[in-house]
Amino acid sequence: MENRLQQTNLRDQALEVLKLRLISGDLAPGQIYSAASLATELGVSNSPVREAMLTLVNQGLMEAVRNRGFRVVPLSEKERRNIYDLRLLVEIPSMERLAAMKGKVAARKDEFSRIASDIVRCAKKGDIVGYLDADRRFHVGLLEILENDQLTAIVENLRDQARQYGLKALSKSGALVKSAEEHQPILDALIAGDQKLTASLMTDHLGHLVTDWA
């Protein structure tokens, strides 16, 4: 688990921790987990953890098992392919729009270059949780430049549903570093205003969802 939770909004913090563990595969598909045991690991009472797990139920990521706890809902190959198709439909045109707004992206070049470096650093260390956090900050942060909260929420939800279980295996094989190194070229294409290259790089990048990240 992540560090013990100490701040005020424990439910939101617990939800974030559980999402990261679920997406990375630390919470395994088909396995049942109790709110009490997870709460003990986090150093908080059962209530915020249970509320967070019920939120994951509402999002379709877990299901309640009476008198036992919560089971991680497995993701079928068809569901993964559907998520991939949706992300292509939503994110590729959005990134092309961003390339047409290259000035706004260029103004934050240093910020996103640092995040891209963080992604590579985490990949090299085998830090899956850190990788996912930095990857989210990169992609969602770029989309936030478009100032469309609904778009950002949709992409975040799709990312959560994708559950990139294969990242651990990629980390051990060294292939995760190669994937991590794709972020800086995407940023460079955006800053250059090259819509065609941006779309091509993003399409290849999202392709990991249905190949080696599955």
CATH code assigned at 155: 1.20.120.530
169 with 149, same domain?
yes
Global model pTM greater than 0.85: no
| Pair (156, 110) in one structural domain | yes
Confidence of residue 86 (pLDDT cuts 50, 70, 90): very high
Q: Which of 50, 72, 94 is the C-terminal boundary of a domain?
A: 72
What number of other Cβ atoms are within 10 A of residue 14's Cβ? Answer: 26
Mean pLDDT score across all residues of the chain: 88
Distance CA 190, CA 148 (A): 18
Note the pLDDT tens digit of each residue in 23-67.
777 788 888 999 999 999 988 889 999 999 999 998 888 999 998
| Integer Cα distance of 97 and 190 in angstroms | 9
In 3D space, the residue among 190, 150, 213 whose CA is nearest the CA of residue 24 turns out to be 213
Question: For the domain that residue 42 is a member of, what is the CATH number?
Answer: 1.10.10.10
Q: How many domains does the chain have?
A: 2
Question: Residue 102 falls within a domain, yes or no?
Answer: yes
Residue 3 lies in a domain: no
Same domain? For 63 and 92 the reply is no
Residues 93 and 68 in one domain: no
Domain limits at 15? 10-72
130 located within any domain: yes
